[in-house]
Amino acid sequence: MFIGTCLSSLKLKNPFVLSSGILGISKNFFQQLSPYVGALTTKSIGKRERKGNPNPVVATLNNYGLINCMGLPNPGINYFTQVIREVKSVIDTPLIVSVFGFNMQEYVEVACKAEEAGADAVELNLSCPHTEGVYEFSQNSKLAYETVKNVKSVLKIPVFAKLSPNVTDITEIGLACEKAGADALTAINTIKSMQINVWLKKPVFKNLYGGLSGPAIHPIAVRCIYDLYEKVSIPLIGVGGVTDWLSAVELVLAGASALGVGTAVYLKGVNIFKNLTEGVKKYMETEGFKSFKEMVGYAHKK
């Protein structure tokens, strides 16, 4: 059974997308994964090199998730354009370059350079909860609107906007991005959170806050995708705790046209993509779905 899907003009052989920040920017990892995923997303790239936050930057929470406060370490777009070219030469799967900025002009500049280097789409990371100056873009619908609009006005490739669940109403920000011309919405980024070391009696991260990901956030992602599907018409990439076929199907029935997989790659290894694809195919056969598209948003049917 064919479970291909579309995100604007991108054609995906299956709905599973490697989420941003999970396997960094390694050409070898991307090449190895390419046959098994529908698309690959890079680590978020900014205008300049950033070292990120001081260690520790990850806390593990048994099997229910991770908190990370990496702080967007990356080599900067000028170096990264070469990596995009190298990765593109060894994969036959769409490459989504994740982009961030500390002001609108930086988003535009980085996105343009990513397009020139061969990105198939850009994902605007408006929503990193542990990087001051970036997080704000997901908190204010006017700022999100202006950012997407500015990037859209200069790019030919599709532009996706990655939203934060840490808002009163995610649909308000989603609608603003759609109005600005976004070709798809990615939801959700990690959830602003904190851990305290009870022996040291102080926060684990020097940065105080991190972003919670993994199985713990899955029901929140389902709610966000369900609500967005009710309000917007552009495709949705559902991200948050996709760990097995069941959690994947839930997000599709809620309205996701594609699924980002992040923390589960750490928990289960890169073979997860093969298992997810097989599991979803089996579910579709058992439940009588003729196409993947038919399943998208099915839970909204009265």
Cite the active site residues: 128
Tell me: does residue 34 bind ligand FMN (CB under 6 A): no
Among 13, 47, 113, 162, contact with ligand FMN (rule: CB under 6 A): 162
| Residue closer to ligand FMN, measured from CB, 57 or 289 | 57
Residue 277 engages ligand FMN in binding (rule: CB under 6 A):
no
d(CA 148, CA 143) in angstroms, rounded, equals: 9
| Minimum CB–partner distance for residue 215 and ligand FMN (Å) | 7
**Least distance in angstroms from the C-beta of 290 to ligand FMN:** 28
Three-state secondary structure call for residue 190: coil
Strands 191-193 vs 210-213: parallel, antiparallel or unpaired: antiparallel
Of 14, 20, 53, 207, which lies in the binding site for ligand FMN, with binding defined by CB under 6 A? 20
Give how many residues touch ligand FMN by CB under 6 A: 26
Tell me: does residue 14 bind ligand FMN (CB under 6 A): no
User: Could you tell me the CA-to-CA distances from 39 to 18, 34, 35, 78, 143 in Å, in that order?
Assistant: 7, 8, 10, 23, 28
Q: Are 51 and 128 in contact (CB under 8 A)?
A: no
Residues 85-144 that bind ligand FMN (CB under 6 A): 98, 125
Given candidates 19, 131, 247, 257, which one binds ligand FMN under the rule CB under 6 A? 19
Q: Which of residues 12 and 289 has its CB atom nearest to ligand FMN in the complex?
A: 12
Binder to ligand FMN among 46, 101, 158, 214 (CB under 6 A)? 214
- As a whole number of angstroms, the distance between CA 190 and CA 254 comes to 19
First to last CA, the chain: 27
Nearer to ligand FMN, 21 or 38 (CB): 21
Q: How many CB atoms lie within 10 A of CB 52?
A: 15
**H or E segment to which residue 266 belongs:** helix 263-268
| Site membership for ligand FMN, residue 240 (CB under 6 A) | yes
Among 138, 213, 257, 277, binds ligand FMN (CB under 6 A): 213
Ramachandran sector of residue 75 (left: φ over 0; alpha: ψ -120 to 50; beta: rest)? alpha
Q: Quick one: which of 187, 185, 174, 182 has its CA closest to 155?
A: 182
Asked whether position 158 contacts ligand FMN by CB under 6 A, the answer is no
- Identify the three-state secondary structure at position 26: coil
Does the protein bind ligand FMN through residue 165 (CB under 6 A)? no
Residue 21 interacts with ligand FMN (CB under 6 A): yes or no: yes
Q: Given the complex with ligand FMN, which of 276 and 284 has the nearer CB atom?
A: 276
Q: Strand pairing of 236-239 and 184-187?
A: parallel
The residue with its CB nearest to ligand FMN is: 21
* Residues 71, 57 contacting (CB under 8 angstroms): yes
Q: Which part of the chain contacts ligand FMN (CB under 6 A), choosing from 134-142, 236-244, 267-275, 283-291?
A: 236-244
Task: Work out whether 177 is an interface residue with ligand FMN (CB under 6 A).
Answer: no
Q: Report the alpha-carbon distance of residue 192 to residue 170 in Å, rounded.
A: 15
- Using CB under 6 A as the criterion, which residues of the chain lie in contact with ligand FMN when the complex forms? 19-21, 43-44, 66, 68, 70, 72, 98, 125, 162, 189-190, 213-214, 217, 239-242, 260-264
